[in-house]
Amino acid sequence: MAHSPVAVQVPGMQNNIADPEELFTKLERIGKGSFGEVFKGIDNRTQQVVAIKIIDLEEAEDEIEDIQQEITVLSQCDSSYVTKYYGSYLKDHRISRHLKVQQIEMLLHNGKLWLGSKLWIIMEYLGGGSALDLLRAGPFDEFQIATMLKEILKGLDYLHSEKKIHRDIKAANVLLSEQGDVKLADFGVAGQLTDTQIKRNTFVGTPFWMAPEVIQQSAYDSKADIWSLGITAIELAKGEPPNSDMHPMRVLFLIPKNNPPTLVGDFTKSFKEFIDACLNKDPSFRPTAKELLKHKFIVKNSKKTSYLTELIDRFKRWKAEGHSDDESDSEGSDSESTSRENNTHPEWSFTTVRKKPDPKKLQNGAVSDESS
């Protein structure tokens, strides 16, 4: 017997009746991200192009905390280096409403999800794709890498000044506008520090990019993002993070145990020194984002962001030539995974994890049968 939908009473919601299907014109699907499908859309009131993330709340029950966290963090951010959040709407078969952040928190926190309801999250549209998308068409040169890293560092400098930790820095979560602007995205596992809580110890992130202290669940702060940035720099140079041919659970075992990765190959000394500075196993010796903006690799090699449009144009040509039959998972506003993550090792995961694996499943760094 079918159950009737039960409305969750959220203060003030009744005064915010608004149907997102009337306010926005949904265009083509541009990806599938952290918690649902993402569409390119038009704000019918302003004709502004936006990204529309549509989440089935029943199906996304396990990701509710991440959805709430991303909306909360993005609503607090005001930076040209962070993906902009425009608002959220609850849509179901009876009535639709525009939700304030506090109302979203109450709705999701209660756990009494409306049967058949969908959450529309409206965000900035970034049509250049993710940095990982752009890597699929070929390697970056050091000028392009330095330019991209400079913009990522500006985003991290802003977040860290606001006592926020991204905790999932990687190329897939770096998005570009069609003009080459670079922005940080995917804040589902971001953390907030306070005057009284100056460290965190939660195990979250993507294994290949995770700092040793995060894996060990030691107290950590914004310096964990600097480690992930160093791994991302290697990813931008080589097309993949270190140890990408290994099972993620083995990588989690090896990162705290082994010496930090280094950049191998025909790269400049200053680039290798930049990465070495980021990948110091002692977080207290890692530079801050502000300090890294002054590193000679960044200062001498970075250019205006319009320089990155060459990469965007190259990727468009690459797709037009038929190299990619799979739909890109770049969302235009948020990118959780890519075709490389989904297809290269289908039995492995390059996506974000939020719970540390059972150490009993690791046998000298090898994955036991039941966890394979």
Query: 157, 168, 186, 334: which one is catalytic?
Result: 168
Count CA atoms within 13 Å of residue 289 on its CB side. Answer: 27
Query: What is the C-alpha to C-alpha distance for residues 38 and 32, in angstroms, rounded to an integer?
Result: 6
SS3 track for the chain:
CCCCCCCCCCCCHHHCECCHHHHEEEEEEEEECCCCEEEEEEECCCCCEEEEEEEECCCCHHHHHHHHHHHHHHHHCCCCCECCEEEEEEECCCCEEEECHHHHHHHHHHCCCCCCCEEEEEEECCCCEEHHHHHCCCCCCHHHHHHHHHHHHHHHHHHHHCCEECCCCCHHHEEECCCCCEEECCCCCCEECCCCCCCECCCCECHHHCCHHHHCCCCECCHHHHHHHHHHHHHHHHCCCCCCCCCHHHHHHHHHHCCCCCCCCCCCHHHHHHHHHHCCCCHHHCCCHHHHCCCHHHHHHCCCHHHHHHHHHHHHHHHHCCCCCCCCCCCCCCCCCCHHHHHCCCCCCCCCECCCCCHHHEECCEECHHHC
b/e code 81-109 from CB counts within 10 Å (16+ = b): bbbbbbbbbbbbeeebbbbbbebbbbbbe
* Cα(205)–Cα(353) distance, integer angstroms: 6
Any catalytic annotation for residue 225?
A: no
Q: What angle do CA 263, 269, 270 make, to 5 degrees?
A: 100
Contact 90, 99 (CB under 8 A): yes
Tell whether residue 53 is among the known ligand binding residues. Answer: yes
Binding-site residue positions: 53
Binding-site residue positions for ATP: 53
User: Would you name the residues annotated as active-site residues?
Assistant: 168
